[in-house]
Structure 1
Amino acid sequence: MRTRVVGIAAGIISWVGLALAVVLVVHVVLTVGGANPDNPITTTIRSLAEPISLAFKDLFNPQDAKLRVIVNFGLAALFWLGVRAIVLKLVRRLN
């Protein structure tokens, strides 16, 4: 039973961490690609990406707005992938 619960928890953590990183990367792609900022897809992704970027959202302030998004939201995506890896390792040790 314990193995099953740990496996389910690891699966959920893995998918959530990956989803957070994907949202951030999609936001970067849409911004750098010049997507219409008023499009519902773009506004939805931006509204999801901003809170999960945490303090990375304005960590660096280069003049170029696209570079700012690449660096800050890219770092946030790497952060969530790192958190995902660490938490997965800890959860799997419970097995």
Structure 2
Amino acid sequence: MTPIRHLVVVTRRDCELCEHLLGLLAPYQRAGRIALEEVDLADDPVGLAAYQWRVPVVLEAAQELLWGNIGAAQVAAALGELDAVRV
């Protein structure tokens, strides 16, 4: 059994790219493959300084996996999946 990966998604309010990414990650979360923590830059001054122009950003163990305009293939590749999880 593959362990659950714990990801932090840095977002911003009213961010279409953020909503799109969260939609792409949802099937992985429902399948029990990932656990998500969402951090809004409005509540994180340190994150704001680091990521304000690059949201959304996906972090795992404080390492950047993905950022910006992220597609399904990029999510699957970053998570080590050969095929995207089906909804």
Greater relative contact order (Cα < 8 A, sep 6+): 1
Structure richer in strand, relative to its length: 2
Same fold (TM over 0.5): no
Structure richer in helix, relative to its length: 1
